[in-house]
Amino acid sequence: MLVRRVVGYQRLEGLEAAQVLGELYGALRLFTNLFQPSFKLKSSERDGGRIKRQHHPPRAPLQRLIKSGALSQGQGEALRDLQRRTDPVALLVTIRRCQGQLAVLASGENGSQEQSGKTARDLAAENRSLEVFLGGLQTLWHSSQPRRRKPKPRSGKRSRPDPFEPDVALIEQCLVAEPMIRAKTLLERLIQHNPERYGERHLRTLQRRLRGYRLQRIEREMEQMLDAKARGQKETEPEEIAVLPGVKENG
């Protein structure tokens, strides 16, 4: 992926292209590992719908590796010596030269055989085409036409088992006794009832469950009121039933 971002997605064939790609990859890895700083995630904390991320100060991979203490003193000194002996400008020149050779090879020409017979005008035209090629690498992917996949309709089936299925009756009893109970309070009672099965991770699922249950109950009560009004009958009171520990019963 690292090489593709620098070279592009044109088709390359042959031994010469493989050799140039190998040289380009080596120069890229040296430049990235020795001189290219990057951020590394330190911590991630969720606050409601927002995620707060903290990063370490930007460092090159070599600096991060030496600071980790995973290397011996001799290995760390050898890597520092490699960094001192490596010229980042020379690496960039090598990367640019390899990009030029790959641009020539991608056009179907043989760069090694035709390089000696080129005139100054040919070299100038080649440099201009190389500038266009290098300048378009960052936006080359915009010209591609990815296939748009039609989104699949949701099947309606649950993707995982319902965590509240064993205690559906208890939850309904609790909601009948306390219609305005909060999901967090109900979850605390469920954890007290079965601590091995329930935890804080079930809060969002229980909130969705309560929202759907209350909507269904409102619709059901509205239908009962309309039926009672049509028949001239009064709505019957729900009978008292046992609920979870700590639930206030209607009285």
What string of pLDDT tens digits covers the 251 residues of the chain? 566 777 777 777 888 888 888 898 889 999 989 998 888 888 998 887 788 999 888 889 898 888 888 888 899 899 999 989 988 888 888 888 888 888 888 877 655 544 545 566 665 666 666 566 666 666 665 665 566 677 777 666 666 778 888 888 888 888 888 888 888 998 898 888 888 888 888 888 889 888 888 888 888 888 888 888 887 755 455 555 455 555 555 54
Give the span between the Cα atoms of 145 and 131, in whole angstroms.
24
Residue 91 pLDDT? 87
End-to-end CA distance of the chain: 69
For residue 33 the two structure tokens come to: 């590992």
Does one domain contain both 104 and 179?
no
Are 23 and 100 found together in one domain? Answer: yes
Q: How far apart are CA 218 and CA 179, in angstroms?
A: 11
Same domain, 92 and 174: no
Supply the angle between the helices 168-177 and 183-193 in degrees, to the nearest 10: 130
Check residue 145 and give its pLDDT: 59
Cβ atoms of 46 and 74 closer than 8 Å: no
Residues whose CB is less than 8 angstroms from the CB of residue 173 and which lie 6 or more positions away in sequence, other chains included: 241, 242, 243, 244, 247
Domain with 31 in it: 2-38+64-110
Q: Does some domain include residue 196?
A: yes
Kindly state whether residues 93 and 10 are assigned to the same domain.
Answer: yes
Q: How far is CA 135 from CA 34, 89, 92, 147, in A?
A: 25, 19, 15, 26
Of the residues 46, 76, 110, the one at which a domain ends: 110
Within-domain flag for 122: no
Question: 0.75 cut: is pTM over it?
Answer: no
Q: Are residues 140 and 132 in contact, defined by beta-carbon separation less than 8 angstroms? A: no
**Number of structural domains in the chain:** 2
